[in-house]
Structures are given as structure tokens and as C-alpha cells.
Amino acid sequence: MADHTNSTGSDVGDVTALLSARGADLDDLLARAARRRDEHLEHEGRPGVVTYSPKVFIPLTRLCRDRCHYCTFATVPGRLPAAYMELDEVLAIAREGAEQGCTEALFTLGDRPEARWRAAGEWLAARGYSSTIDYVRAAAAAVLAETGLLPHLNPGVMTPDELAVLRPVAPSMGMMLESTSTLLVEPGGAHHGSPDKEPAVRLQAIADAGRARVPFTTGVLVGIGETRRDRAESLIALADLSREYGHLQEVIVQNFRAKPDTAMRGEPDAEFDEFVAAVAVARLLMPLGVTVQAPPNLAGELGDSADAAEDQALLLRAGIDDWGGVSPVTPDHVNPERPWPGLDELARITAKAGFTLRPRLTVYPRYQRDAGWIDPAVAPSVATLADADGLVGMPVAAR
Ligand SMILES: O=c1nc2n(C[C@H](O)[C@H](O)[C@H](O)CO)c3cc(O)ccc3cc-2c(=O)[nH]1
Ligand SMILES: C[C@H]1O[C@@H](n2cnc3c(N)ncnc32)[C@H](O)[C@@H]1O
Ligand code: MET
Ligand code: SF4
């Protein structure tokens, strides 16, 4: 096999060419991707169904040892009331989510802040936690026990030991690959100063999650300075990991949106056609059974709901089958300037494209059906929320 051909036979050059499709070629690409999505939904036993996860967002800590140039989430101790949220604050958000019909508690946080910030280490030590991951475990266990919401853990790079510790308190976890580009870690690149964004480290962590049999969410961030070829390599790498371990339940294709207070504030947002082509290529490369997700709140010009609706329709044409977590309670703390569309609006746009919008759990139906994916300690919590299809049954508050 030639160097440029990966193990599953996708040629990096061919995939790169697909990513540059425009005009009639882009229309063809989208049509192929849409057919593949329909085949995927048929394969999963839910034809015509596009999903979302009703969630609350729990930003357990906004301190981080990394310095991604696009990120507005990470900050310094002086700008925060405390290094971490207290357990009662976490539970208050989860309880409100339960009342509003949410089934997911998304824990998204900075990577290993205690390695950089004294305030983080002190906060943890004062409460008897040995690390951020140790506190994530405690907070997820409390949410599960007190509210029934299912934790989806997105704490950055996890070691095999950490995956093992977290598995009993969460039916699913995730971490974006972002990109396989090593250039981004060099001076001037978006990942310079972010040791956890080293591509080899991230690929290893995703493989480790597969070996630990954790239903896993990953994806790529489009428009952070990577080339089309990098993007092709990134998506091929994810398809390969999916084939090897079977743990990739969903691949997120997320478009970079410049934030005012970040190093990349002056960079243009990802061009939408460029992004949509990446969504379609992700769909064509992933094995059947892998969901392709794009967030609805990063579509369209800020504040222009007609434009957002147009972009969302384009994402459905490009083969997505899921909108990710959408919250009636909390903002998207990663993209705080971008509010969630209302669920009625999202259902309308989804219906206009010919699909039914349905809520799902953090862990997809096939991982509930197949043995060995969900830890016995958390399986009853999943079963309580799931309907016969493995999607959301009754809202938590109604139980
Ligand atoms: O609201 C957000 N949710 C994000 N999610 C959550 C996602 O929308 C859902 O929680 C998952 O689909 C699980 O249901 C992520 C989850 C991951 O595992 C990895 C990355 C992300 C990124 C975001 C994000 O930027 N904003
Ligand atoms: C949680 C995930 O959010 C994504 N993320 C972080 N910052 C931005 C941004 N400015 N625009 C879009 N996505 C972003 C990264 O992919 C990260 O892994
Ligand atoms: C706001 S990013 C949240 C998760 C983690 N810090 C990562 O980048 O992977
Ligand atoms: S994107 Fe994640 S890892 Fe990077 S600085 Fe922000 S919180 Fe830290």
C-alpha cells in the first residue's frame, strides 16, 4: 500500500479533493452524504429520525493548563469566584435540568488545571480530592445519584487509569481530536502552548477509550489553521479508530467561531461551504452506525435566525443525523455568544428537511443493546431513562 493510502483504503489526496468541492460538485457530494446518512439511520433502526440530547452544561472548572488560541472558555483564577464549582452548585444546575426534561449533564472543563494553577491544586486539596479527574468522578456520581441525569464527561485527555475510574459514573465520554496537524502546535499555531492538543497524545487517548470500551464522542474543529489535507487526514484517522475499536458513537464536525477575547479574534470564521464539505466527507468516511453531529447554534450569522435556518438546512443536506446537546437551561459555555435555537424552531427546520426530531440519551441505542459497553454501576440509570428504542422515554421530572 502506498504511503498516502491509509489502512482502510481512503486516499488522502482523493479525500482532500472532495473537501474542496464547490458548486455542482458540492451538490453531488452533499447528495451522496445524505444517502449515506439515510443508510446509517436505516442500519440503526431509526429511519427518518434526527436526534438531539436535552442537556445541562456543567463547566466544572474554567481553569486549564492549555492555551488554545481560539478558546474563550479557559481563563485565569483572578477572573473567577472560585477555581471549581462546588458540588451544591453542580447539583442545583442538574436539578433544574431534570425539572426541564433534560437527561444529560455535560461536564466540560479545562484540562488538568492543577498542573498550572496553584489555586486549582489548593481548592482540590482543601476538599480531599487528589486531582481534577477525582473531583469529576465525585461530581458525576453525585449528579447520577441525586438527579438521575446521565453524565457525559469531556475533561480533555484521559489516561487509561482515569478512564477506568470514570467509567462507572458515566455511560459516555468524549474529547475532540481537533486536528492531526502537528504544525498547529508550533509557534504561531492555534495549539502552541497546549500540550494536551499534541495530535499523537489525542490519538492515543481516543484509542485508550476504545480499549476501555467507553462509548465515545470525538470530532474535528474546522478552520483553526489546518489545511484541507490535514482535515482529510484527521477524518481518515477517526474512521480508522472507529473501525479498530467500535467505540466512536458520534463524530462532531464543529466550525471555528472567532471570539473577541482570544488570540484568534481577528481570524475569519470557517467559510460555511468549506465546513459543510467537511461534514459531508465525515459522513462518507465513517462506518455505518457512527452518528455525524454538527451543533445548530454555530450556524448562520450571529442574530440572524433566517440565515441560521438556511445553514441548518444545509447541514441536514450534508448528512448529519444529530444536533448534539441543546439546553433549555444553560448556555453553550464554549460558544457563549451563540444561543441555542428553540426546540420548536429546531423541530420545524428538521421537519422541513423530511425528518422527525427526537431526544436521545448521551449514549446511543446500539451501545445499550450490545454487551460490554456500559458499566454495570451506571447501566440501571440508563435503563430508567431509555424507551424501547434506546432514545429518551419520559422526561426525568415525570418519573
Ligand atoms: O454545548 C456544547 N457541547 C459540546 N459537546 C457536547 C455534545 O453536544 C453532547 O453532550 C454529546 O453529543 C453527548 O450527548 C461536546 C461533547 C464532546 O464529547 C466533545 C466536544 C463537545 C463540544 C461541545 C461544545 O462545544 N458545546
Ligand atoms: C469543547 C470543544 O469546543 C471546541 N471549541 C473551542 N473553542 C471554539 C471556538 N472558538 N469555536 C468553535 N469551537 C470551539 C473545541 O473543539 C473543543 O474541543
Ligand atoms: C472548552 S474545551 C473542553 C474540553 C477540553 N479542555 C478540551 O479541549 O478537549
Ligand atoms: S479548548 Fe479546552 S484545552 Fe484548549 S484552552 Fe480551552 S479548555 Fe483548555
The predicted-structure confidence for 352-372, as pLDDT tens digits, reads as follows 999 999 999 999 999 999 999
In this prediction, residue 3 carries a pLDDT of: 45
**Ligand 3 centre and the CA of 111: distance in Å?**
7
Closest residue by Cα to residue 326 from 349, 307, 304: 349
**pLDDT, mean of residues 317-342:** 97
**Ligand 3 centre and the CA of 335: distance in Å?**
12
pLDDT at 125 over 70: yes
In this prediction, residue 297 carries a pLDDT of: 98
Structural domain contains residue 3: no
In this prediction, residue 331 carries a pLDDT of: 97
pLDDT at 383 over 60: yes
Q: Considering every ligand atom, which ligand is closest to the CA of 251?
A: 1
CATH number of the domain within which 90 lies: 3.20.20.70
What is the tens place of the pLDDT at every residue in 221-268? 999 999 999 999 999 999 999 999 999 999 999 999 999 999 999 999
Strand spans (E) along the chain: 49-58, 104-108, 150-154, 172-174, 216-222, 248-255, 291-293, 322-326, 356-359
**Atom 4 of ligand 4, nearest CA residue:** 68
In this prediction, residue 218 carries a pLDDT of: 99
In this prediction, residue 98 carries a pLDDT of: 97
194 CB within 6 A, ligand 4 = yes
230 CB within 6 A, ligand 1 = no
**Ligand 4 centre and the CA of 68: distance in Å?**
6
Structural domain contains residue 108: yes
* Cα separation, 119 vs 132, whole angstroms: 12
Structural domain contains residue 237: yes
**Ligand 2 centre and the CA of 220: distance in Å?**
9
**pLDDT, mean of residues 44-64:** 98
**Ligand 2 centre and the CA of 82: distance in Å?**
23
| Mutation to probe ligand 3, out of 106, 153, 154, 338 (largest number of atoms < 8 A from CB) | 154
| Mutation to probe ligand 2, out of 154, 335, 338 (largest number of atoms < 8 A from CB) | 335
Number of domains in the chain: 1
What is the tens place of the pLDDT at every residue in 265-307? 999 988 999 999 999 999 999 999 999 999 999 999 999 999 9
pLDDT at 7 over 90: no
Q: Could you say which DSSP state residue 131 is in?
A: S
Q: Considering every ligand atom, which ligand is closest to the CA of 364?
A: 1
ipTM over 0.90: yes
SS3 per residue for the chain = CCCCECCCCCEHHHHHHHHCCCHHHHHHHHHHHHHHHHHHHHHCCCCCEEEEEEEEEECCCCCCCCCCCCCCCCCCHHHCCCCCCCHHHHHHHHHHHHHCCCCEEEEECCCCHHHCCHHHHHHHHHCCCCCHHHHHHHHHHHHHHHHCCEEEEECCCCCHHHHHHHHHHCCEEECCCECCCCHHHCCCCCCCCCHHHCHHHHHHHHHHHHHCCCCEEEEEEECCCCCHHHHHHHHHHHHHHHHHHCCEEEEEEEECCCCCCCCCCCCCCCCHHHHHHHHHHHHHHCCCCCEEECCHHHCCCCCCHHHHHHHHHHHHHCCCCEEEEECCCCCCCCCCCCCCCCHHHHHHHHHHCCCEEEECCCCCHHHHHCCCCCCCCCHHHHHHHECCCCCECCCHHHC
334 CB within 6 A, ligand 1 = yes
In this prediction, residue 4 carries a pLDDT of: 52
**pLDDT, mean of residues 328-347:** 96
Between 213 and 395, the higher pLDDT residue: 213
Of the pLDDT bands very low, low, confident and very high (cuts 50, 70, 90), residue 10 is confident
147 CB within 6 A, ligand 1 = no
What is the tens place of the pLDDT at every residue in 169-194? 999 999 999 999 999 999 999 999 99
Structural domain contains residue 2: no
pLDDT at 392 over 90: yes
Q: Considering every ligand atom, which ligand is closest to the CA of 58?
A: 1
pLDDT at 1 over 60: no
Structural domain span for residue 115? 12-398
* Cα separation, 44 vs 281, whole angstroms: 20
In this prediction, residue 399 carries a pLDDT of: 43
Q: Whole-model pTM?
A: 0.97
Structural domain contains residue 47: yes
pLDDT at 2 over 50: no
In this prediction, residue 115 carries a pLDDT of: 98
Distances (CA, A) of 258 to 54, 66, 102, 173, 267: 26, 18, 29, 26, 6
Structural domain contains residue 178: yes
| Mutation to probe ligand 2, out of 71, 264, 297 (largest number of atoms < 8 A from CB) | 71
pLDDT at 15 over 60: yes
**pLDDT, mean of residues 89-95:** 98
Structural domain contains residue 1: no
Q: Relative to the CA of 173, which ligand 1 atom is closest?
A: 18
In this prediction, residue 147 carries a pLDDT of: 98
Mean pLDDT taken over the chain = 96
Structural domain contains residue 5: no
In this prediction, residue 6 carries a pLDDT of: 57
Distances (CA, A) of 313 to 50, 276, 389: 12, 11, 26
In this prediction, residue 396 carries a pLDDT of: 47
